[in-house]
Amino acid sequence: MLWGLLLCATLASASQTVLNGPLAGLPRVSAYDEGLFTPMEDMNALSETSFSVLSHPVFPNYNVRIKKSSFCDDTVNSYTGYIDIEARHIFFYFFESRNDPDTDDVIFWTNGGPGCSSSLGLFMELGPCRVLDENGPAFHPESWNTNANIFFVDQPIGVGFSYADYGESVGTTEEGARDMAAFIFIFFEHFSKFKGRAFHLTGESYGGRYVPVFAAEVYDQNTKLAEAGYTPINLTSIMIGNGLTDFYHQMSSSFDMQCTSASVPPTLSIAECVQMKPMVARCEKRLKESCVDIFDATDCAAAATFCDTHLKAPFWRSELNPYDISQPCTEDGRRENLCYPVTAHIRAYLSRPDVRETLGVDAPVPANFTSCASVVGSAFRANMDSYRLTQDYIGGLLERGVRVLIYVGTYDWICNWIGNERWTLALGWSGQAAFAAESLHPWAVGDDFTKGRAGLARSAKGLTFVTIDKAGHMVPYDKPKEALDLVQRWLSKEGF
């Protein structure tokens, strides 16, 4: 969801080292060869009552604390813990696959915001259990761990159960990317059964910014790790649901979603749409000049304010749900509950002392759980983090053989399908012409069209764009069967 809307040792010496980038100084002789590192190997050795601490000399400022945490789904092993970066602590959940954890792929999931907890994805959307009412968690048959091992990470610092000892914070996606890449490497190095396993970085909403940058950091880190004798992460793909990836094309699509039948019948009056239409070109011109061609923070902020005022403000005056334009949002506490009362039940569940004890939540975390942290969102907005050219990371990943899935519910307004289709078609990369030449075609769950169309799809050269009919911003919440079929197709490379 979009907020506001809505390890411990020194490096071995070596004669040759990696000279550039975040891993500068990394020895070309691995810690295994020098006898500096012994992996933990067996996850069954982890305790339910205390944390085991994982470290690695490549990342001396990082530790990973992890324990078994039996909750939510008694058909699989589950784990929780913290990524400790000196005085900063990032909370995560990990669930093994219901099918075959020793062979199935690994998925990393993050929610968006910026500042929203991935517990929303876990307990509302695609996790092995859902907290949909006051009765607490219930088994979720369409969970994405049906055929995959999956992480849910409360990132960056300050989100969900994550915190900092002295008020440290992260205000850009690039800062957070370094932490996530280090965590992924340490985990795979310790639990080596996952080495070489297909790995997929996945997220929703502001995850459209997070995921491409995180994936690029993992890919670039892999090169240096391989040079130093370590096993690189098998980064196979990224998946983005209703993402904010290209602010430029997303902004202009606000007009289409409000004044045409791109999703539902027009929601604004004819007079309002007549006033708005000429503002689209003016908005695009100002954004291109101040944010795209040359980034000037002051001018870009002014352009963004202009566009928000003329293209988005009319929607906010309505009582429609920005995450599902087919539904009203008239409940009290619209900002707190994000138009979904279920989020209140998740907050109540994660505020319970017994639940926190089971999960191993650190004592400094506030007693009342917060789904989305406003201070984190404010920090990212102050740095204008969303006005960066994230789509170029996707082009770079595609050029290097990393597959990309962009999926979008058609009822979402805030990160809608029109804007997402436009940027995928406009993306500059070697496969652009082939992708644009493909027409949208229908797809169905299990290819069984007798039960109805699930949406439309376009795919070429590793890039796939998919819509899910009548789903909102949180596709797995609205359409769990379609979402599971989507991810299973992607993992098995069946295609659309």
Q: Report d(CA 423, CA 420) in Å as an integer.
A: 5
364 CB-near residues (< 8 Å, 6+ apart): 163, 165
Q: Any idea what DSSP says for residue 216?
A: H
Give the burial string for 452-466 (b: 16+ CB within 10 Å, else e): eebbbbbbebbbbbb
Q: Report d(CA 143, CA 98) in Å as an integer.
A: 9
Contact in structure between 66 and 85 (CB atoms under 8 Å): no
Tokens of 231: 């096993």
**Nearest alpha carbon to residue 466 among 424, 437, 430:** 424
Tokens of 360: 């191993």
What Rg, from alpha-carbon coordinates, does the chain have?
22
Contact in structure between 116 and 108 (CB atoms under 8 Å): no
Cα dihedral across residues 357, 358, 362, 367: positive or negative: negative
Q: Which residue has the tokens 């929203």?
A: 116
Q: Identify the three-state secondary structure at position 359.
A: helix
Contact in structure between 118 and 94 (CB atoms under 8 Å): no
H-helix or E-strand spanning residue 286: helix 270-287
Active site residues: 205, 412, 473
- Phi, psi dihedral angles at 109 (to 5 degrees): -115, 135
**Nearest alpha carbon to residue 187 among 218, 143, 213:** 218
Q: Which residue has the tokens 């759980």?
A: 369
Q: Report d(CA 338, CA 322) in Å as an integer.
A: 9
491 CB-near residues (< 8 Å, 6+ apart): 105, 147, 148, 198, 200
H-helix or E-strand spanning residue 93: strand 88-95
Cα 163 to Cα 111, 122, 316: the distances in Å are: 17, 19, 32
Three-state SS across 198-222? CEEEEEECCHHHHHHHHHHHHHHHH
E strand intervals along 257-302:
none
